[in-house]
Amino acid sequence: MKDPMKMLKQVQQMQDRMARVQSELENETVEASAGGGAVRVVATGAQKVMSVVIDPAAAGDTEMLQDLVLAAVNEAMELSKQLAATKMQAVASGLGLPPSVL
């Protein structure tokens, strides 16, 4: 049987590290683009869109522009989730836990 105090300490360490990683993710960014750079989206590692930049030349076709914005935002969110997952897996492995725990 494992020592309950040791387990409690490990849980506290994991919570502290996860809180630190969450804070770091709010300050890290990813960038995605669509339409050869006609639309660029920057998002944080906490899945918050920070900016959308649209090339004025792309503004002429509203339907295409909507598709490009959607594609760029979806890509930025995916990159953000991957960044967060990588950082959280590092927390789990640092504590000797399998990645599936997080």
The pTM (predicted TM-score) of the whole model is 0.77
Ranges of the chain whose pLDDT falls below 50: none
Identify the residue whose tokens are 């959280």: 88
Query: Which sequence spans correspond to the domains of the chain?
Result: 4-94
pLDDT of residue 18: 85
pLDDT of residue 44: 96
pLDDT of residue 75: 98
Architecture of domain 4-94: 2-Layer Sandwich (3.30)
